[in-house]
Amino acid sequence: MSRRETVNHLMMMVIAFLLLLMLPEYLNVYHRSFVMFTMMYVVLASSWNIISGFTGYVSFGHVLFYGVGSYASAILVADHGWHWLATLPISMMVGLAFAIVIGFPVLRLKGPYFAIATLAASEGTRVLVTVWDDLTHGGLGISLPNVENSMETYYAMLVLMFVTIGTCYWVAHSRFGVRLNAIREDEVAAEGLGINTTLYKMTAFGLSAIFPAMAGAIQANKTLYIDPETEFFVLVTITMKLMAMFGGKGTVIGPIIGAVVLYSIQEYVWVTFPHAHLIAFGVFLILVARFMPRGLVGHAIDQGWWRKGMVH
Amino acid sequence: MDSQSVQAAGDAVALEVRDLHKGFGGIKAVDGCNLKIPAGQISGLIGPNGSGKTTTFNLLTGVIRPDSGEVYFKGENIAGLKPYQIFRRGITRTFQITRIYREMTVFENMLSVSYLLTPMQDARERAERLMEFVTLSKLRDEYGGNLSYGQQKLLEFARALMTDPELILLDEPAAGVNRTLLADLLDRIHELQAVGKTIVVVEHDMNVIMNHCEKIFVMDYGVNIAEGLPHEIQNNEQVIEAYFGRRKDGAVRAS
């Protein structure tokens, strides 16, 4: 990575940020919320990518952090009268706490065992949230005070998205990220060559948890109603995973492209073929898995259009 | 065991292994191993298949924990420490079957080993220099998995040197490497010794062992049964017996 390349990337990010900053003025409420949810999926797919793409620990329970983040925020807003922006740091801390408590035992597992354990953790948390109705209002869910805040949530998500992308960019182009890749490629060798793998995996897991927790919090204050079934819906995990894999996991740009393209297609297909949208979406994903198993960016690298490696 | 000549050559010990034991279920893979690896030399560790050489390497580098015994390095008992802790004290290794990072470029493979506190510019320069050292500079931006097996061995060797270690453990560096590449690799090993590094080689290729090692340790059934200079080892009855067995009349079978 030459200095000029870094400057170019930074410029691109600043331009994208300014464009997205001005955009909502020209959009109606529907399109504004469409862009906001696209940005949310960029956050989710990019976060999933930190632990699963860079570090190779494929999580099937990432909705967990999104869910606990949204609940932490909703409880503080609805039951304790907090301003929703003030709840974001709390949601982040709650997400991080869950990552530490769950990560410590679960990151000792590998491959399918890790995947199943993370899935179990997210489902277990969903059940816990459902039965603990003193705190969470149980299966009834939480209704938040009705306010029109589509602008504020849009801007909050915009900032969160750029913080997430910036973090991923730093990870990918630092020795910290190269070391995460080393853990993905061969953990025994990585540990034998000086990497404290437990510490690195925990850090990656924590980073990949805090952004979804905040995304969940912003989302809760946008939709103004949450319940355990939607906040801990397995499909959210699968969606972020598919987006990252479609774009190209283990890269910075991959999950961003994946989230934008897949979320747009999903919305288009849903509007155009309301009865068959899941089938059409499924067929599309099968074709991608068959012809581009390493995703768009991976495909570009394999074809020689894109340079191999992150740090040059 | 006649090792007076070696004693005379230099008394400094880089690594001392005392009564090391490791069992896997009923199998005693290492059963009372004692080694004094001389500092600044190339030493060989040989023995028949299953004699505990690789297990010993894994014990020294922390990949597995010993049941009992001590390993002294720079006056400290490092037995039972974690692999990354032992690495940070200055011991590095390569693996019997290469463990390079396949979906990372050669350069990233190198960079992953440098300490985070080392300035990035220094790490880059060292990586470039070491890739030059093992003639892999042209493959800098190629994936590790796309290298030939011999090149992967070179990469693994270069990668192990990123932090300027004092003790280098090489597990079968010659296996699967063509003769030309092997000659290069051996030259590099001698260059390292020339700047004061201690090297231990586990190897089945007796040409490598006999022509390039100063002191040789022989293991059988998890115990070191002999040590000495190459010509001493070649004529050692116990060693010949371990490799070739004993004739019915009790005489050692030697060719």
Rounded (10°) angle between helices A234-247 and A29-49: 80
Q: Answer whether A193 sits within 8 Å of B92, measured CB to CB.
A: yes
Distance CA B43, CA B46 (A): 10
Q: Is residue B49 part of a domain?
A: yes
Which of A2, A173, A187, A193 to probe by mutation at the B interface, max B CB count within 10 Å? Answer: A193
Q: What is the DSSP string of B70-109?
A: EEEETTEE-TT--HHHHHHTTEEE--SS----TTSBHHHH
Mean pLDDT of chain A: 93
Alpha helices in chain B (DSSP H): 4-9, 53-60, 83-88, 106-111, 120-133, 149-159, 179-194, 206-212, 230-234, 237-244
The pLDDT of residue B249? 62
Specify if B111 maps to a domain.
no
CB contact under 8 A, B63 and A192: yes
Q: What is d(CA A138, CA A128) in angstroms, rounded to the nearest whole number?
A: 9
CB contact under 8 A, B84 and A311: no
| Count of structural domains within chain B | 1
Q: How far does Cα B228 stand from its chain's mean position? A: 17
Q: What is the pLDDT of residue B178?
A: 84
pTM of the model: 0.91
Subunit contact A188:B63, Cβ cutoff 8 A: yes
Please check whether residue B168 lies inside any domain of the structure.
Answer: no
Q: Distance between CA atoms of B228 and B218, rounded to whole angstroms? A: 9
A73 located within any domain:
yes
The pLDDT value recorded for residue B247 is: 62
pLDDT of residue A20: 95
How far, in Å, CA of A221 to CA of B174, rounded?
63
Phi-psi region of A37 (alpha: psi -120 to 50; beta: other; left: phi over 0): alpha
Domain presence at residue B232:
yes
pLDDT for residue A209: 97
Q: Residue A185: which of B61, B104, B107 has the nearest Cβ? A: B104
Domain annotation covers residue B61 = yes
Pick A281 or A190 by higher pLDDT.
A190
Residue B22 lies in a domain: yes
**Listed residue (A193, A32, A71, A230) closest to B111, CA to CA:** A193
| DSSP class per residue in chain A | --HHHHHHHHHHHHHHHHHHHHGGGGS-HHHHHHHHHHHHHHHHHHHHHIIIIIS----S-THHHHHHHHHHHHHHHHHH---GGGHHHHHHHHHHHHHHHHHHHHTTS-HHHHHHHHHHHHHHHHHHHHH-HHHH-GGG-EEPP----HHHHHHHHHHHHHHHHHHHHHHHTSHHHHHHHHHHH-HHHHHHTT--HHHHHHHHHHHHHHHHHHHHHHHHHHH-EE-HHHHT-HHHHHHHHHHHHHH-TTSSHHHHHHHHHHHHHHHHHHHH-TTTHHHHHHHHHHHHHHH-TTHHHHHHHHTTSS-SSS--
Task: Note the pLDDT tens digit of each residue in A77-134.
Answer: 999 999 999 999 999 999 999 999 999 999 999 999 999 999 999 999 999 999 999 9
Q: Provide the 8-state DSSP code for B220.
A: E
Q: Which of A185, A188, A311 sits opposite B111 (nearest CB)?
A: A311
Residue A232 lies in a domain: yes
Provide mean pLDDT across the span A24-47: 94
Quote the minimal CA–CA distance from A269 to chain B in Å.
Answer: 35
Q: Does B116 touch chain A (CB under 8 A)?
A: yes
The structural domain count of chain A equals 1
- Name the residue among A176, A191, A310 with its Cβ closest to that of B83: A191
CB-based contact B105 A190, cutoff 8 Å: no
Out of A194, A197, A250, name the one closest to residue B115 (CB).
A194
Rounded to the nearest angstrom, the gap between the alpha carbon of residue B76 and the centroid of all alpha carbons in its chain is 20
- A192 CB near a chain B CB, below 8 Å? yes
Residue B71 lies in a domain: yes
Spell out which residues of chain B touch residue A175, defining contact as CB-CB under 8 Å: 111-112, 114, 116, 120, 123
CA-CA-CA-CA dihedral for B153, B158, B159, B160, to nearest 10? 90
Which pLDDT value is given to residue B165?
Answer: 93
Residue B4: predicted pLDDT:
43
Q: What is the dihedral of CA B58, B163, A196, B76, to 10 degrees?
A: 60
Determine the residue among B65, B113, B114, B139 to mutate to test chain A binding: the one whose Cβ has the most chain A Cβ atoms within 10 Å: B113
* A133 at B interface, C-beta within 8 A: no
Q: How far apart are CA A255 and CA A53, in angstroms?
A: 10
Q: Which residues of A touch B124 (CB under 8 A)?
A: none
The verdict on B104 touching A (C-beta cutoff 8 Å) is yes
The torsion defined by the Cα of B105, B108, B112 and B116, in degrees rounded to 10, comes to -170
Q: Given this model, what pLDDT does residue B2 score? A: 42
Q: Which residue has the tokens 């004290």?
A: B89
A-chain residues within 8 Å CB-CB of B163? 194
Residue B242 is part of which domain span?
1-94+202-255
Structure tokens at B142: 């190629």
3-class state of residue B59 by DSSP: helix
A68 CA: distance to closest CA in chain B (Å): 33
Of A182, A195, A308, the CB nearest to B105: A308
Percent of chain A residues past pLDDT 90, beyond the cut: 78
Q: Examine the pLDDT at A164 and tell me if it is beyond 60.
A: yes
Query: Which chain B residues have a beta carbon less than 8 Å from that of A179?
Result: 112, 116
Chain B partners within 8 Å of A307 (Cβ): 141
Give the minimum alpha-carbon distance from B242 to chain A in angstroms, rounded to a whole number: 31
The pLDDT of residue B248: 61
CATH number for the domain spanning B43: value is 3.40.50.300
pLDDT band at A171 (very low <50, low <70, confident <90, very high): very high
Q: Is the pLDDT of residue A210 over 60?
A: yes
With respect to residue A304, please indicate whether it lies within any of the assigned structural domains.
no
| pLDDT at site B68 | 93
User: CB of B112 within 8 Å of any CB in chain A?
Assistant: yes
Burial class (CB in 10 A: 0-12, 13-18, 19+), B251: exposed
Of A178, A249, A306, which to mutate for an interface test with B (greatest number of B Cβ within 10 Å)? A178
CB-based contact, B157 to chain A, within 8 Å:
no
- Which helix (H) or strand (E) segment holds residue B198: the answer is strand B198-202
What pLDDT is stored for residue B243 in this prediction? 79
Q: Is the pLDDT of residue A309 over 90?
A: no
Q: Which domain holds residue A110?
A: 3-236
A181 to B82: CB separation less than 8 angstroms, yes or no: no
User: Quick one: pLDDT at residue B8?
Assistant: 44
pLDDT by 10s per residue, chain B, length 255 = 444 444 444 578 999 999 999 999 888 899 999 999 999 999 999 988 888 888 999 999 999 999 999 999 998 999 999 999 999 999 999 998 899 999 999 999 999 999 888 899 999 999 999 999 998 999 999 999 999 988 999 999 999 999 999 999 999 988 888 888 888 889 999 999 999 999 999 988 888 898 999 999 999 888 888 888 988 888 888 888 887 776 666 555 544
With a cut of 90, say whether residue A165 has pLDDT above it: yes
ipTM confidence: 0.90
Contacts of B113 in chain A (CB under 8 A): 193-194
In DSSP terms, B91 is beta-bridged to B167
Q: Which of A54-58, A114-118, A304-308 has the lowest mean pLDDT?
A: A304-308
- Which of B87, B95, B112 lies nearest to residue A179, judging by beta carbons? B112
Per-residue pLDDT reduced to its tens digit, A8-34: 999 999 999 999 999 998 999 889 999
Which of A176, A196, A310 lies at the smallest CB-CB distance from B108? A310
- The average pLDDT across A127-143 equals 92
A182 vs B: CB within 8 A: yes
Q: Touching check for B142 and chain A: CB below 8 Å?
A: yes
pLDDT at B250: 58
Instruction: Locate the chain A residue with the closest alpha carbon to B128.
Output: A312
Closest CA to A152 of A86, A80, A92: A86
